[in-house]
């Protein structure tokens, strides 16, 4: 167990960085990170060492994130969308190409728009656009075929753009 504690110390930042793309609340984020390491601990025997441990752990984190998105989707149907900051909405409506948006506001804006997407679509667009993963890497992490990933990515981009346009018009 001491060896596993060392692994936790080494990889906890990486796991949290992955999960933060899907959950912005700090307490929930740590719960998801804990769930990821618990699952890793329980299935440690299935790690064959062919790929680096971090890749194997990332795959578990992605599946934990997907389960979380599915749970949240059912829950959020009842509570509606949170309010966005004024600056984010101003940026969204602005025609000025030089206007800039902070990283935090941009991430919050994207997180709100992403709710229009299915959990699987959120996963693909996050891995592809925010983490810069290739289709092959997304297939490895999600277990989906390359055709499914490509189709989902195209569909997700269209939905994301439409969601942002609705926010721009103040429709939510």
Distance, in Å, from the CA atom of 36 to the CA atom of 30, rounded to the nearest integer, reads 10
Nearer to other proteins, 129 or 140 (CB): 129
Nearer Cβ to other proteins, position 125 or 149?
125
Q: Does 22 bind other proteins (CB under 8 A)?
A: no
Contact between 164 and other proteins per CB under 8 A:
yes
Check: CB of residue 23 under 8 Å from CB of residue 29.
yes
| Residue 11: alpha-carbon gap to chain centroid | 18
Structure tokens at 20: 């933060």
Q: Is 104 in the site for other proteins (CB under 8 A)?
A: yes
How many other β-carbons are positioned within 10 Å of the β-carbon of residue 137? 16
- Subset of 44-103 contacting other proteins (CB under 8 A): 92, 97, 100-103
Q: Report how far residue 117's alpha carbon sits from residue 128's, in angstroms, rounded to the nearest whole number.
A: 15
Binding site for other proteins (CB under 8 A): 1, 4-5, 8-9, 12-13, 16-17, 20, 26, 29-30, 33-34, 37-38, 41-42, 92, 97, 100-107, 109-110, 129-130, 132, 157, 160-161, 164-165, 168
């Amino acid at each position: 167990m001491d060896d596993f504690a060392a692994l936790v110390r080494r990889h906890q930042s990486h796991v949290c960085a992955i999960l933060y793309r899907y959950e912005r609340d700090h307490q929930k984020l740590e719960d998801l990170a804990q769930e990821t390491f618990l699952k890793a601990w329980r299935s440690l025997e299935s790690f064959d060492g062919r790929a680096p441990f971090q890749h194997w752990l990332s795959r578990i984190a992605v599946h934990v994130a997907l389960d979380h998105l599915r749970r949240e989707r059912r829950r959020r149907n009842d509570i509606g969308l949170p309010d966005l900051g004024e600056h984010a909405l101003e940026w969204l409506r602005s025609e000025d190409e030089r206007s800039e948006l902070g990283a935090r506001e941009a991430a919050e804006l994207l997180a709100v728009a992403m709710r229009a997407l299915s959990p699987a679509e959120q996963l693909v667009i996050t891995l592809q656009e925010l983490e810069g993963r290739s289709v092959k890497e997304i297939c490895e992490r999600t277990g989906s075929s390359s055709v499914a990933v490509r189709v989902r990515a195209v569909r997700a981009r269209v939905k994301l753009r439409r969601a942002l346009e609705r926010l721009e018009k103040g429709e939510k």
